Homo-oligomer: A and B are copies of this chain.
Amino acid sequence: MCKGKSEHTNEGSASVPLEKLTQPGILLLLVKDKSHGYELIQKLNQVEYIDGELEAATVYRTLRRMEQDGLIESRWEHGEFGPARRQYEITDYGRETLKHWAGGLKSRMKQIETFLENYYGLMD
């Protein structure tokens, strides 16, 4: 049923070309409570605003980058149970950025709405 399509790994253009809300999602969770990577992965894969599933490797990689950027801070926590964990907390700069991103996402949402109005307007 499908036509010409992709030679490389596009896989029938199955997914909308719009990134996941990984960084905003992590900041939103860390505003509520400090946490570590493994727990964040599970929480992110339960919330409604994450599209599909986030891979563990993606989250760990993103956390390290966000710490480099000063959005979050970590320290090792050697608890009595299980392996040591890297405990993350949001920074003041992270809180500012989250606020800033929320404003940007509001605009982005309106732009998508405009796109859809434009599209459905044509399809009448």
Q: Which of A34-42, A53-61, A78-86, A99-107 contacts B (4 or more CB under 8 A)?
A: A99-107
Q: Determine the chain B residues whose CB is within 8 A of the CB of A49 once the complex forms.
A: 111-112, 114-115, 118
Q: For chain A, which range describes its interface: under 10, 10 to 19, 20 to 34, or 35 or more residues? A: 35 or more
Query: Given B10, B108, B114, which contacts A112 in the complex, CB threshold below 8 Å?
Result: B108
| B105 adjacent to A112 (CB under 8 Å) | yes
Give the dominant DSSP class at A's interface: helix
| A4 adjacent to B112 (CB under 8 Å) | no
| B4 adjacent to A91 (CB under 8 Å) | yes
| B119 adjacent to A4 (CB under 8 Å) | no
Residue on B nearest A4 in the bound complex, by CB: B70
Residue on B nearest A118 in the bound complex, by CB: B28
